[in-house]
Amino acid sequence: MSILERILKTVVLDEAIITEKVALSKTAFKIRLQSDSIKNISFIPGAFLRLGIGIGKEELSMKDKIRSYSIWNINSSSGYLDLAIATHSGGIGSKWAIECQEGDTVYYKLKKGNFIADATADSYLMIGDLSALSHL
């Protein structure tokens, strides 16, 4: 593991455990992350996670070690959040979602996104492919 990866794990990123993994379909999973650090998140709809799925894998480039996922559901009082991850692309994130197991440790950082819904609307219509899954 590189020095940069060690710094990411120990200083920059928070740690969580995968406590649930459920197949939603042939090409999508719900993955629940649990951590006391999630209890401290001040969540704003539209925020997403940078997930260090490739830390420690020397064969991956640095850009492939960190993937971004939208938060599907969060329960700050219980300290968990859910991700919906589509695997149809076959990329590094897809491979991780297929292979990860309950009990695995992951490293993450919350980021604020630009996709923030206007709370004054009576209803919304959202159209998208599987990459829009967690927004729905």
Model confidence over 73-108: pLDDT tens digits?
999 999 999 998 888 888 888 899 999 999 999 999
Contacts of 25 (CB under 8 A, 6+ apart): none
Q: Which two tokens stand for residue 19?
A: 């406590």
Mean of pLDDT values over 3-27: 81
Q: Can you read off the two tokens belonging to residue 111?
A: 């980021």
The CATH number for 125's domain is 2.40.30.10
Question: pTM for the full model?
Answer: 0.78
Q: Are 111 and 48 in contact (CB under 8 A)?
A: yes
Element (H, E) at 62: helix 62-65
Q: Which domain holds residue 70?
A: 3-135
For the chain, the domain total comes to 1
State how far the Cα of 85 lies from the Cα of 130, in Å rounded to an integer: 9
